[in-house]
């Protein structure tokens, strides 16, 4: 498909009435006859016309166009990043076992040599994910384990998304700013009055759902409830006057009062689940209650659909949180489709442009729902975009949670003790940990599922993880003990990440020991830049850009410097190192170790994690004093990964 044909479809998607040919020709910059040829070409070979012609003009069949576009790449990739994303999509999304190199050149409109160069770059860019692209008999293959493919796919989703729809400022572009501010104030006030903390992602996610809910209720698009108005299926341990229920009821009352709407039982249940998931993971009992409310057969079918999506797209969606909120949404979707009362999503157009992969996943889910008999009618693009939002929010939630340490809370199951203690811990440490509660009757999960254990019970506990004993009242000494456990767990995680990824940043070929007394920082930058350029990491202009950045703000610290360019144009992340025992004059300082950073846009997120760990070691320990005496790359590696330094951080 030509780019002008794509543009023609984009133009027609904006109209619900026929558009005259001359008007389309002017906007496309072509002749009216060319527009006719485009329409004829697009309709050729299709079961039904994509574009209908009439004396009034041209009208797009939205469903037929969506089906056509879903079979095509969004755009012809122009840059290395776009081409690598396209190739990864062919493997992981289209499930291609191999790709013919010559066919790939034709699809991408590039030369064979450029494709081979891209493949070499991809192997360097994604080596830290433990995947490899290799050629055999003119075929390109992808090697690695399934978990590595999952990590690669998640990386691509994060890198290619254009907007963060779970962001307050972004939401103001789609909803009245007054509504955004009003609902956000309600959420903030209710949680503050309940003495509960809500992290930024959970707050934005809750805000998004409430904005859509209020928008729908204002349009009088209230769906038929899937549960009885009197059904209490919120939380197993929290039905009476529990904190979660009080928060849900308070939000409901204030939303109804502020916007003159009535929140029904179904919306109340969804609100309850969103509030509950903002605290800890949903328990198995919550899943059982959901089964009781929605029906075991329905819930089983939804779980099968989720498993099918996981197998096809390598997404990890089988969490209790996602199963609960998503099955509830699908139940409502089936009711809306059967009643022909589907709802409007004001973000739908940008969702497709920003998240084309997740849009494809959503279309596949609709297909599975039809195959399993959950729905039989037509599903609007608005409804499909709602599925995208749920998928998007779950991936964002998982990505967000990876930043936090996982605290396992083991408390006797009486007098709501676990809930009270979790609130106290989150009020103090919510920007550092996520909590999973466990009753005294349950077995400890695998150590891989938590970083440390907090308990009010006496031991002993059979776990290699650190155990912190606290009182139910959480004294100042208890808070101090938990804080120290968090610091130690974070240090262990940092050292683990540094150890596992060391070879993706440092190498003997980019390591120098100065034996001839380098005279200046500029000389070091030129020397290391030349090394990186010779080894294929940066271009010949890299040294100039690094010195330009250094002239703006010096990167010299106590005994070391970390120069880098302001842009991110490296082939892949690399750190060139020079060790000078005699020291190098650097903007009024004397540095003994220089870390020259070459940063790739493909791996910026991972580089930031690695850099934070490295900076922690360099600034918070005495490691520089030992590193400056290293005389080989092996000595440098052994010193940098010596656990004694990271353990010395308190």
Give the pLDDT confidence of 281-302 residue by residue, as tens digits.
Answer: 444 445 666 777 778 899 899 9
Per-residue model confidence (pLDDT) at position 454: 93
Strand duo 560-561 + 466-469: pairing: unpaired
Give the pLDDT confidence of 104-147 residue by residue, as tens digits.
Answer: 888 788 888 889 988 988 887 787 778 889 898 889 999 988 87
DSSP string, 59-85: EE-HHHHHHHHHTS-SS---SHHHHHH
DSSP string, 365-421: HHHHHHHTTS--S---HHHHHHHHHHHHHHHHHHHHHTTSEEEEEE--SSTTHHHHH
In this predicted structure, the answer to whether residue 237 has a pLDDT above a threshold of 60 is no
Looking at per-residue pLDDT, the higher value among 66 and 526 belongs to 526
Per-residue model confidence (pLDDT) at position 227: 44
Per-residue model confidence (pLDDT) at position 285: 43
pLDDT-above-70 percentage for the chain: 85
Q: What is the CA radius of gyration of the chain?
A: 28
Per-residue model confidence (pLDDT) at position 95: 74
Residues with Cβ within 8 Å of 627's Cβ and at least 6 positions away in sequence, in order, are: 579, 592, 593, 636, 639, 640
CA nearest to 323, candidates 337, 336, 309: 309
Per-residue model confidence (pLDDT) at position 242: 66
In this predicted structure, the answer to whether residue 238 has a pLDDT above a threshold of 60 is no
Q: 108 near 67, Cβ under 8 Å?
A: no
In this predicted structure, the answer to whether residue 70 has a pLDDT above a threshold of 80 is no
Could you give the CA distance from residue 498 to residue 74 in angstroms, rounded to a whole number? 37
Mean of pLDDT values over 554-570: 85
Looking at per-residue pLDDT, the higher value among 469 and 323 belongs to 469
Per-residue model confidence (pLDDT) at position 203: 80
Give the pLDDT confidence of 600-622 residue by residue, as tens digits.
Answer: 876 666 677 777 778 878 887 88
Strands across the sheet with 132-136, in order? 99-100, 139-143, 132-136
In this predicted structure, the answer to whether residue 573 has a pLDDT above a threshold of 90 is no
638 pLDDT tier (thresholds 50, 70, 90):
very high
163 pLDDT tier (thresholds 50, 70, 90):
low
Per-residue model confidence (pLDDT) at position 511: 94
In this predicted structure, the answer to whether residue 650 has a pLDDT above a threshold of 50 is yes
Could you give the CA distance from residue 489 to residue 483 in angstroms, rounded to a whole number? 10
In this predicted structure, the answer to whether residue 5 has a pLDDT above a threshold of 80 is no
If you average pLDDT over every residue of the chain, what do you get?
80
Strand duo 51-54 + 57-60: pairing: antiparallel
In this predicted structure, the answer to whether residue 47 has a pLDDT above a threshold of 50 is yes
CA nearest to 153, candidates 406, 400, 361, 388: 361
CA nearest to 6, candidates 108, 57, 74: 74
Q: At what angle do helices 604-620 and 146-160 cross, to 10 degrees?
A: 100
Place of tokens 């490296």: 570
Per-residue model confidence (pLDDT) at position 600: 81
In this predicted structure, the answer to whether residue 384 has a pLDDT above a threshold of 70 is yes
3-class SS string, 561-613: ECCECCCCCCCCCEEEEEEEEEEEEECCEEEEEEEEEECCHHHHHHHHHHHHH
CA nearest to 322, candidates 387, 406, 405: 387
Tokens of 401: 């949670």
Would you mind telling me the total number of residues written for the chain in this entry?
650
Per-residue model confidence (pLDDT) at position 54: 86
In this predicted structure, the answer to whether residue 229 has a pLDDT above a threshold of 50 is no
Least confident span in 240-254, 336-350, 565-579, 583-597: 336-350
**Stretch (H or E) spanning 140:** strand 139-143
Give the pLDDT confidence of 419-446 residue by residue, as tens digits.
Answer: 778 878 888 888 788 888 777 677 788 8
Mean of pLDDT values over 231-259: 69
258 to each of 168, 252, 253, 357, how far by Cα in Å?
Answer: 19, 10, 9, 37
In this predicted structure, the answer to whether residue 544 has a pLDDT above a threshold of 80 is yes
Looking at per-residue pLDDT, the higher value among 267 and 180 belongs to 180
Could you give the CA distance from residue 182 to residue 219 in angstroms, rounded to a whole number? 19
Per-residue model confidence (pLDDT) at position 347: 72
Could you give the CA distance from residue 576 to residue 529 in angstroms, rounded to a whole number? 8
Residues with Cβ within 8 Å of 517's Cβ and at least 6 positions away in sequence, in order, are: 580, 582
Looking at per-residue pLDDT, the higher value among 225 and 507 belongs to 507
Domains for the chain: give ranges and CATH numbers: 3-61 (1.10.10.10), 80-160 (1.10.10), 168-401 (no CATH), 405-501 (3.40.50.2300), 505-647 (3.40.930.10)
pTM here?
0.63
In this predicted structure, the answer to whether residue 624 has a pLDDT above a threshold of 60 is yes
Give the pLDDT confidence of 442-494 residue by residue, as tens digits.
Answer: 778 888 889 999 999 887 788 899 999 999 889 999 999 999 999 888 888 88
pLDDT-above-90 percentage for the chain: 17
Could you give the CA distance from residue 593 to residue 631 in angstroms, rounded to a whole number? 12
Strands across the sheet with 452-455, in order? 433-438, 405-410, 452-455, 466-469
Q: 649 near 495, Cβ under 8 Å?
A: no
Looking at per-residue pLDDT, the higher value among 224 and 294 belongs to 294
Mean of pLDDT values over 185-198: 84
CA 68 from chain centre, in angstroms, equals 28
Mean of pLDDT values over 367-392: 86
Per-residue model confidence (pLDDT) at position 89: 80
In this predicted structure, the answer to whether residue 414 has a pLDDT above a threshold of 60 is yes
595 pLDDT tier (thresholds 50, 70, 90):
very high
């Amino acid at each position: 498909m030509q780019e002008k044909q794509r543009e023609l479809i984009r133009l027609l998607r904006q109209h619900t009435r026929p558009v005259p040919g001359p008007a389309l020709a002017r906007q496309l910059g072509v002749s009216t006859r060319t527009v006719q040829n485009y329409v004829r070409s697009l309709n050729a070979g299709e079961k039904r016309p994509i574009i209908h012609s009439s004396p009034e003009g041209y009208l797009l069949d939205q469903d037929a166009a969506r089906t056509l576009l879903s079979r095509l790449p969004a755009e012809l990739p122009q840059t290395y990043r776009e081409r690598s994303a396209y190739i990864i999509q062919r493997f992981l999304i289209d499930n291609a076992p191999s790709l013919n190199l010559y066919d790939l050149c034709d699809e991408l409109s590039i030369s064979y040599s450029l494709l081979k160069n891209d493949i070499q770059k991809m192997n360097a860019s994604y080596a830290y994910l433990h995947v490899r692209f290799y050629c055999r008999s003119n075929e390109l293959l992808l090697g690695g384990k399934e978990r590595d493919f999952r990590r690669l796919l998640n990386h691509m989703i994060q890198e290619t998304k254009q907007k963060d729809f779970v962001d307050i400022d972004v939401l103001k572009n789609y909803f009245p700013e007054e509504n955004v501010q009003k609902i956000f104030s309600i959420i903030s006030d209710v949680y503050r009055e309940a003495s509960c903390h809500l992290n930024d992602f959970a707050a934005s996610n809750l805000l998004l759902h409430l904005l859509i809910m209020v928008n729908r209720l204002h349009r009088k698009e209230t769906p038929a409830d899937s549960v009885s108005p009197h059904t209490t299926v919120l939380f197993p341990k929290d039905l009476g006057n529990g904190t979660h229920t009080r928060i849900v009821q308070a939000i409901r009352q204030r939303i109804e009062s502020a916007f003159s709407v009535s929140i029904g039982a179904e919306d109340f249940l969804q609100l309850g689940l969103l509030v509950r998931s903002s605290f800890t993971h949903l328990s198995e009992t919550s899943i059982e209650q959901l089964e009781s409310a929605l029906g075991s057969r329905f819930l089983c079918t939804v779980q099968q659909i989720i498993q099918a999506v996981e197998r096809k797209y390598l997404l990890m969606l089988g969490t209790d949180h996602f199963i609960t909120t998503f099955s509830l949404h699908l139940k409502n979707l089936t009711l809306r489709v059967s009643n022909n009362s589907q709802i409007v999503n004001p973000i739908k157009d940008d969702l497709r442009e920003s998240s084309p992969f997740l849009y494809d996943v959503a279309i596949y889910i609709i297909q599975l729902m039809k195959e399993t008999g959950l729905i039989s009618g037509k599903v609007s693009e608005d409804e499909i975009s709602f599925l995208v939002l749920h998928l998007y929010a779950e991936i964002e939630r998982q990505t967000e949670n990876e930043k936090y340490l996982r605290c396992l809370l083991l408390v006797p199951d009486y007098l709501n003790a676990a809930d009270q203690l979790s609130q106290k811990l989150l009020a103090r440490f919510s920007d550092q940990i996520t909590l999973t509660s466990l009753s005294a009757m349950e077995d400890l999960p695998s150590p891989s599922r938590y970083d440390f254990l907090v308990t009010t019970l006496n031991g002993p506990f059979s776990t290699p993880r650190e155990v912190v004993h606290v009182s139910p009242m959480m004294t100042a000494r208890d808070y101090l003990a938990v804080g120290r456990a968090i610091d130690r767990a974070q240090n262990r995680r940092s050292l683990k990440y540094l150890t596992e990824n060391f070879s993706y940043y440092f190498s003997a070929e980019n390591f120098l020991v100065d034996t001839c007394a380098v005279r200046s920082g500029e000389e070091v930058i030129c020397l290391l830049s030349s090394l990186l350029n010779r080894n294929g990491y940066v271009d010949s202009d890299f040294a100039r850009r690094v010195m330009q950045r250094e002239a703006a703000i010096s990167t010299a610290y106590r005994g070391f410097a970390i120069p880098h360019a302001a842009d991110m144009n490296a082939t892949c992340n690399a750190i060139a190192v020079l060790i000078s025992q005699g020291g190098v004059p650097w903007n009024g300082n004397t540095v003994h170790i220089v870390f020259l950073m070459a940063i790739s846009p493909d791996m910026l997120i991972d580089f930031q994690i690695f850099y934070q760990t490295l900076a922690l070691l360099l600034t918070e320990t005495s490691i520089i004093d030992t590193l400056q005496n290293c005389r080989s790359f092996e000595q440098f590696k052994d010193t940098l990964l010596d656990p004694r330094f990271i353990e010395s951080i308190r």
